Amino acid sequence: MASSRPFDHLNSFRFQLVIDGRSLAAFASCDGLEISIDVIETADGPVRFLRKRPGLVHHHNIILRRGLTRATELWDWFRAAAEGRVERKAGSIVVLEDDQSEVLRYNFLDGWPCRWKSLVLDASRSDVLIEELELAVETIERAE
């Protein structure tokens, strides 16, 4: 049972990535759940004031960061795309409650990995090695 009340703010540190109905990896951060609309300005009327009209809708890339593991499923998906075998997948970023129940879900459609990055290797530090995976997506929706 959820411990929060409807008016409580949601936590940003409990979430999971679900692709093709399966939970994949524990990620440290997720960025890019963003949708924007171009603003088209046109001169209108005899006074020649600017009107602002909606243009194209952009669904931005999703960037996921996690501690590097030996699991290769996401790396294999990226490598296939880099070799020209792009496999588009549907997935979700699921925000979890304290008890791990689902609070909120953002679905993405036609996602595929367009960038992979391993952050700095530094022998003078004892940090966990972090990898980034960027997903190009065509649609982001908030599931109610």
Full pLDDT tens readout for the chain, 144 residues: 455 555 554 554 577 888 888 887 678 888 999 999 999 998 877 877 888 999 999 999 999 988 888 888 889 999 999 999 999 999 999 888 777 778 889 999 999 999 999 877 778 887 788 889 999 999 999 997
DSSP 42: E
Give the per-residue pLDDT at 44: 79
Tell me what pLDDT residue 1 has.
Answer: 46
Question: Which pTM value belongs to this model?
Answer: 0.81
In sequence order, which residues have a C-beta less than 8 Å from that of residue 123 and are 6 or more positions away? none
Q: Residue 20's closest CA among 95, 77, 80? A: 77
Helix (H) / strand (E) element for 78: namely helix 73-82
Residue 13: what pLDDT? 57
pLDDT at position 9: 47
pLDDT of residue 27: 80
d(CA 37, CA 58): 6
Q: What is the pLDDT of residue 72?
A: 85
How, if at all, do strands 130-136 and 62-67 pair?
Answer: antiparallel
The whole-angstrom separation of Cα 47 and Cα 42 is 12
pLDDT value of position 25? 65
User: Rounded to whole angstroms, what are the CA distances from 110 to 3, 54, 90, 91, 104?
Assistant: 34, 24, 6, 9, 20
